[in-house]
Amino acid sequence: MHKKIKTANVIISALPYIQKFRDKIFVIKYGGSAQTDDKLKEDFVKDITLLQIVGIKVVVVHGGGKKINNYLDKLEIKSEFIDGLRVTTKEAMQVVEMVLSGSINKEITALLNKNGTRAVGISGKDANLLKAKTLNDGKYGYVGEITDVNAALILNLIKDGFVPVIAPIATDDDANSYNINADLCASKVASALKAERVIFLTDTRGILDQNGELISKLDKKEIDKLKQNGVISGGMIPKVDAALECVKNGVSNAHILDGRLSHSLLLELFTDDGIGTMIKQ
């Protein structure tokens, strides 16, 4: 009986957050180990299903770096990272698009549908969802910078009760394909939708200080200092930049949290302390 009462208390403690977030839009960037470990995949789709059931409107933007690496290695196509971004040649772009828009996108969509969530998988090329231009004059090859988001398409899908699952591939006016960093894609989508929250699932506990301790809350001034000190570096830079862009453009808060932890979404959103780093205005 004691265990049952404890379970009830846990549910009741989440009630204020459920009421607060009902009918709000949450954009979730899904990647890292949460996307490759079978148990974590199962936990993720259950979390999304629960969020939808309690009235939260969810949009998923996914990455796929590890699977892309595997395919590029098999095909002996060289790939490197600069500033946390994959340099994408024309040859590599074909593989990136195949993996993101095909294999990964449809797997996530199928898993969500299997668990009772009405999900629809789309590429940024569908209905001109994501328009882009070359990032930094081609420094990273076929890596793009999003110039426009067809927010109306996403909102219509949400209105019809679907969870949009977006592959971060964009196109320009000449129908060229661009690889978009999934963190930056999630940021642009969240900003266009004026989402309540954007959440980045990572393979770290969040943003850590120089002693390896989790920093629970940050703002731009504090982040700039951590960048200058080299505490924030590598692949964390695009995530932090994406989070800052969101809150600058009207998203209430951005969260960076550990996707390796089961039900990390629920622990971050429905508990007082959370488990990751929250970036605020």
Query: Residues within the annotated binding site?
Result: 64-65, 86, 179
Q: Which two tokens stand for residue 278?
A: 């929250």
What is the DSSP annotation of 51-89? HHHTT-EEEEEE--HHHHHHHHHHTT---EEETTEEEB-
Q: Which two tokens stand for residue 53?
A: 């059931």
CB neighbours (10 Å) of residue 71? 16
Residue 121 CB partners (closer than 8 Å, separation 6+): 105, 106, 108, 109, 165, 167
Amino acid at 256: I
Element (H, E) at 261: none
3-state SS assignment for residue 243: helix
> Which residue ranges are tagged as binding site for substrate?
64-65, 86, 179
Cα 29 off chain centre by: 1
How many helices (DSSP H) and strands (DSSP E) are in the chain? 10, 14
Q: Which two tokens stand for residue 128?
A: 């001109």
- Whether the Cβ atoms of residue 45 and residue 59 lie closer than 8 Å to each other: no
How many angstroms separate the CA atoms of 97 and 110, rounded?
19
The DSSP code for 103 is I
